[in-house]
């Protein structure tokens, strides 16, 4: 799925949301880590699916968050991005 199609979606997986956040200097993995951290600290609402210890696939995210099956509503992502910007923080 290309970025234009992702921008039109109302619900995104952590992986898809990370794809929207990345720039030339950051990787999708960096975006996934940033989003997982925000979800774990309660700054970003998500419908969370976690891996059981024996089910881990690839590199882990904070809290064993499943990057493909944890979903973020686009309006929640946008609100979080605005909050980060107001605080003077650049997500990526």
What pLDDT, in 10s, does the model give residues 23-52?
766 799 999 999 999 999 999 999 999 987
Q: Is residue 38 part of a domain?
A: yes
Residue 90 pLDDT grade (very low, low, confident, very high; cuts 50, 70, 90) = low
Question: d(Cα 48, Cα 27) in Å, to the nearest integer?
Answer: 22
Sort 82 into a burial class: Cβ within 10 Å, 0-12 / 13-18 / 19+. exposed
In a domain, 70, yes or no: yes
User: Does residue 91 form part of some domain?
Assistant: no
Tell me how many domains the chain contains. 1
Indicate whether 92 belongs to any domain.
no
65 within some domain = yes
In a domain, 19, yes or no: yes
pLDDT for position 91: 63
Domain range for 81: 3-86
In a domain, 40, yes or no: yes
């Amino acid at each position: 799925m290309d970025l234009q199609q992702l921008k039109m979606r109302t619900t995104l997986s952590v992986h898809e949301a990370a794809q929207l956040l990345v720039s030339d200097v950051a990787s999708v993995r960096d975006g996934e880590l940033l989003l997982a951290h925000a979800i774990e600290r309660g700054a970003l609402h998500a419908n969370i699916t976690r891996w059981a210890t024996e089910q881990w696939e690839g590199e882990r995210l904070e809290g064993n968050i499943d990057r493909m099956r944890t979903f973020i509503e686009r309006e929640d992502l946008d609100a979080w991005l605005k909050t980060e910007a107001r605080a003077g923080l650049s997500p990526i």
